[in-house]
A and B are shown apart, each in its own frame.
Chain A
Amino acid sequence: MGEKNRFGIIARLRSQLSKAREGFAAKVRSLLRRGKIDEGIFEELEAALIQADMGVNTTSELVEKMRNRAKDDKLTDAEQLYSVLEEELISLLSRPAGVEPKPVQPVGPRVTLMIGVNGVGKTTTIGKLANMHRQDEKKVLIAAADTFRAAAIEQLEIWANRSSADLVKHKSGADPAAVAYDALAAAIARKCDYLIIDTAGRLHTKTNLMEELKKIKRVLGKLDPTAPHEILMVLDATTGQNALSQARLFTEALGITGIVLTKLDGTAKGGIVVAIQQEFGIPVKYIGVGESLDDLKPFHPDEFVKALFED
């Protein structure tokens, strides 16, 4: 990625994250501008981080780190604390992934399974992801394995058309694993580069529905033992601490290779990804920052944190 291009992305991200920045960053900035470092600053910082959905544990740890840094480095100016916080956040988000996605098979398509709770934007994200691959002139097949929600297949069809990707579908109510199997068979036959599988939204606490996902994963393995190569959990940026539980249970059931953070252009701060990274080491792979087809971006910790803080 060229230097110029990279800055372009930062600028764009910045404008799209402006809502989040207004709330969170403004608060942090204003409190850090107060001058001297005193106990009150740490308390207010705690409040700001919690309001960004970073959670009590991550917040406590961050504040504790700041406190130590302030002491060790003999910081006196609150302004300095700001760069320390930025550093800490970037280093937290840059931690190596706990689960590395499997390397791509030279022959078959790279299979991505999209999962998540209801209403996080799985279907929309698939449309955007397919579009992203299509931009690279890759051959993309989408599998409509959300056979449960009314009109989910129709919705995916519209997205597939928009991104001019192929679609494999069955009837509503069909076995999602069967759809996934057929889609992978088709993707192999048609020599596709990517297969993206949509699944029905499900609360992570529903054991039977988690079993259904495991089955999808199992049958994919019958055609390609290395599939799925990527299991992405789609997460709504407005989600609070429950996202930790989602990450935990989806990981236990399937093993997640990454997170797609959607709806980041709202007032939500998306701070929960910091907590998720902190607790499970699951990296954010993409962020959704708008409603149009090309509003899905690869996630860069430094850009994310900078865009969150910079004016």
Chain B
Amino acid sequence: MFEALSEKLQKTFRNLRGLGKLSDKNMKDGLRDVRMALLEADVSYKVVKDFIAHVQEKALGREVLESITPGQQIVKIVHDELVQLMGGVAEPLGFSSEPPTVIMLIGLQGSGKTTTAAKLARNLRARGHHPLLVAADVYRPAAVRQLQILAEQLEMPSFTIEGSRDPVGICKEAIQHARRSARDVAILDTAGRLHINDELIEELQLIRDALKPKETLLVADAMTGQDAVTVAESFHTRVGVTGVILTKLDGDARGGAALSIRSVTGKPIKFVGIGEKLDAFDAFHPDRIASRILGMGDVLSLVEKAQGTIDEKRAAELQEKLLKAQFTLEDFREQLQQLKKMGPLDEVLAMIPGMSKLKGLEPQEKDVVKVEAIINSMTNKERQSPHIIEGSRKKRIARGSGTSVADVNRLLKQFQQMQKMMKQVRRLGWLRGLGGGLNLQP
């Protein structure tokens, strides 16, 4: 996810890192690249402008220019500013002291309100609540039916007044119904429009005034472009938003809308929709998303870890080999050992940018042990030129490592694929970014 943006930022950062001293010019160039990368990720033009101004201000501070690694410092400033922009800590939903807590979902057509209503209900139920789904979108054909079907799938009650054209009436009645049937949360699925107009806003205001929702959550599509600010701003000033749910984040959207919306409303993003299934819904973690948008994985901590454990000179050599595809099984084994030193494998891999692309291919800890054993049972010659490993060699290696010929075959095949993948990865650019991180300035 976010590869393109990541690549851009990584390149910029790499350039910055490589500089012993920062001049006005190369800093300006660097920030210009950051700006472009953010714009390409659909972050609002105005937000980007302010953002760059902030970074610039901080970067011009003494401690940066006088530090030994000014480039590194700037990367850190950008990262911290992004986290800041997203709102530091994850903020939970508020609940009324007197149930039912009313949660109103608002948003444009196609942003995913109805699906989100069901996902939110499921999420709340898992946390011990008893939500009621209220279908108040009386305009879109079959919208009510859609929510009813989703409620049935969740085996959860839903409420509507069949044939009613009065959303406020439906919502009022729904609250009574929630009280009677001991539901402690009512989730209102309101109507969307193609765009914000007075009719829509008035309807939402009426519902808001009649029901005094504890939370009014704006549902927004992560793929939205520059218009995201306009939409968020109008909803916020005219209806009042307490939080945001960002949907369709499971694609390759670079999620700039997240930054923009948070920035113009000042309201936290509380949840994200990350798939079509009803359980594909998560609480939002500003810091993680910032890293994702930066495409850094969690490069900063990975760099820290690597610094502590990896012999830099060796790492540089390995990187060189990787890039030239001269990578042998011997090198592979060494890399595995180094990786193991850095901590649990899945944690380490999660920090590598671009790793999300390789879902399902991630090696498991126990596989690593096996792989190491197999490589250990090879001769030096075999490790250098794996193509010489034929039938009888395979048998010997399998016996020696306590594995089977099938395992040996699998490793050899995987190694081949890995070499292929490295070539692709190289094109993706993350590895170089990572390598850049490993080759820190002396």
- What residues make up the interface of A, taking CB atoms closer than 8 Å to B? 19, 23, 47, 50-53, 55-56, 117-121, 148-152, 154-155, 157-159, 172, 203-205, 236, 238-243, 245, 263, 265-269, 272, 290-291
Contacts and interface: CB of A to CB of B under 8 A. Distances in A.
A37 B110 CA distance: 42
Lowest 10 CB-CB distances: which A-B pairs, in order?
A240-B225, A266-B195, A119-B110, A240-B42, A151-B146, A150-B149, A155-B142, A203-B251, A158-B141, A154-B142
A119 B227 contact: no
A290 B323 CA distance: 53
A267 to B, nearest CB: 5
Given A240-B257, A245-B252, A117 B223 contact: yes
Pick from A19, A150, A152 the residue with the most CB of B within 10 Å: A150
Interface in B19-61: 36, 39-42, 45
B121 to A, nearest CB: 14
A203 B142 contact: no
Contacts of A154: 141-142, 145-146
A173 to B, nearest CB: 11
Nearest to A238: B227
Contacts of B336: none
B194 interface: yes
Contact of A267 (B40, B143, B195): B195
Given A50-B45, A55-B40, A241-B41, A291 B194 contact: yes
Interface string B240-253: 00000000101111
9 contacts: A53-B42, A53-B225, A56-B40, A203-B251, A204-B251, A205-B251, A240-B226, A242-B254, A266-B194
Interface string B128-153: 00000000000011110111111001
A242 B253 contact: yes
B144 to A, nearest CB: 8
B227 A268 contact: yes
A205 B252 contact: yes
B106 to A, nearest CB: 15
Contacts of B110: 118-121, 236, 263
A241 B227 contact: no
B143 A151 contact: yes
Contacts of B141: 154-155, 158-159
A231 B140 CA distance: 25
B150 to A, nearest CB: 5
Given A50-B226, A291-B194, A240 B256 contact: yes
Task: Give the interface residue-count category, chain B.
Answer: 35 or more
Contacts of B36: 56
A53 B39 CA distance: 9
Nearest to B150: A150
A272 B42 CA distance: 11
B339 to A, nearest CB: 28
A286 to B, nearest CB: 15
A267 B235 CA distance: 13
Contacts of A157: 142
Given A148-B276, A203-B248, 6 more contacts: A152-B146, A155-B142, A238-B108, A238-B227, A267-B196, A291-B193
A239 B252 CA distance: 13
A238 B248 contact: no
A263 B223 CA distance: 14
Contacts of B298: none
A263 B226 contact: no
Given A50-B226, A118-B112, A155-B142, A241 B42 contact: yes
Contact of B225 (A118, A205, A241): A241
Pick from B149, B250, B276 the residue with the most CB of A within 10 Å: B276
Contact of B231 (A53, A158, A238): A238
B84 to A, nearest CB: 23
Pick from B45, B110, B225 the residue with the most CB of A within 10 Å: B225
Given A203-B251, A242-B42, A245-B252, A155 B194 contact: no
Contacts of B42: 53, 240-242
Contact of A203 (B150, B250, B254): B250
Contacts of B227: 53, 238, 266-269
B181 interface: no
B86 to A, nearest CB: 18
A242 B149 CA distance: 30
Contacts of A291: 193-194
Contact of A51 (B45, B224, B253): B45
B85 to A, nearest CB: 17
A144 to B, nearest CB: 12
Contact of A241 (B45, B254, B276): B254
B287 interface: no
A150 to B, nearest CB: 4
Contacts of A267: 195-196, 227, 230-231
Nearest to A19: B195
Contact of B196 (A56, A242, A266, A269): A266
Given A19-B195, A151-B149, A266-B196, A158 B142 contact: yes
A196 B223 CA distance: 26
Contacts of B335: none
B111 interface: yes
B109 A239 contact: no
B252 A149 contact: no
Nearest to B5: A241
A203 B196 CA distance: 25
Contacts of A53: 42, 225-227
B7 interface: no
A47 B45 contact: yes
B221 interface: yes
Contacts of B150: 150
A290 B41 contact: no
B263 to A, nearest CB: 15
Interface in B200-241: 221, 223-228, 230-231
Nearest to B224: A238
A55 B224 CA distance: 13
A238 B221 contact: yes
A51 B252 contact: no
A51 B227 CA distance: 8
Contacts of B226: 50-53, 240, 269
A252 B147 CA distance: 34
A23 B44 CA distance: 14
Contacts of B146: 149-152, 154-155
B38 to A, nearest CB: 10
